[in-house]
Amino acid sequence: MSIAPDPSRARSIAETLVRMSAVAFRTSPFFRLTSGAESPVYVDNRQLLGQVAERQEVLAAFLEVIAQLPAPDAIAGTATAGIPWGAWLADRLGLPFLYVRSQAKAWGKESAVEGTAPAGARVLLIEDLAFSAGSLAEAAENLRAAGFLVEDALTIASYDMPSAHARLCSLGLRHTTLTTIDEALAAAERAGSLDGGQVSIVEAWLRDRRATAA
């Protein structure tokens, strides 16, 4: 299941992501993604890593959410985007940190989960972005296979895809995001970086993706 983000927090984080170009919009031409697909949205939360004030804002928002969840025994970050956020949060909370690959490596100990935490520990999973939720699903399954209890996952942003919600619900994984792409789109419009026609193009693209992925 997915938990709706707090409206004021979602707006503030969205404005930060747009201001730092961590979420960018372009309608002519669309961005070309690694997969070869084209999109009017490009998310690169790595833009926040070197920005101390903005990084602290995101971490503070994460900590507010974590305070409302069952207390974790450890924090896990998905490789690679969730690793810095998970490590910072684990440090703030004084908890063990793990990082999780999408699949076990084919050498050495052939591990999918790196780091140590008590057997059966409640692990909170951190990722920077949810689109299809594939990386969250794989990470949760790998952590559970390693003997950990995983019931909650947090992301900075989400595309709010119905198929992703269904996938996480089927795994019994509760997902909370700080903000959404829709909030970022509204923030970009308020900032004057997109006009009404461009906003309509992005909205249509999002509707189409949600319909085809449902």
Lookup: tokens for 141: 């399954």
The dihedrals phi and psi of 21, each to the nearest 5 degrees, come to 60, 25
For residue 84, give Cα distances in angstroms to 55, 77, 120, 173: 10, 8, 24, 22
Q: Domain residues of the chain, as ranges?
A: 2-212
CA–CA separation, 153 and 137 (whole Å) = 10
pLDDT recorded at residue 106:
44
Per the prediction, the chain carries an average pLDDT of: 93
**Would the pTM of this model clear 0.85, i.e. be above it?**
yes
Tell me: the pLDDT tens digits for 186-199?
A: 999 999 999 999 99
Comparing C-alpha atoms, which of 61, 13, 5, 49 is closest to residue 177?
5
Residue corresponding to tokens 């059966």: 120
Considering the domain delimited by 2-212, tell me its CATH architecture. Answer: 3-Layer(aba) Sandwich (3.40)
Tell me: the pLDDT tens digits for 90-124?
A: 999 999 999 998 666 545 556 789 999 999 999 99
Tell me: the pLDDT tens digits for 20-31?
A: 999 999 999 999
Q: What is the DSSP string of 84-148?
A: HHHHHHHHHHT--EEEE-SS--SSTT--SEES---TT-EEEEEEEEESS-HHHHHHHHHHHHTT-
CA–CA separation, 113 and 110 (whole Å) = 9
pLDDT recorded at residue 99:
95
Mean pLDDT over 45-54 rounds to 96
pLDDT recorded at residue 5:
84
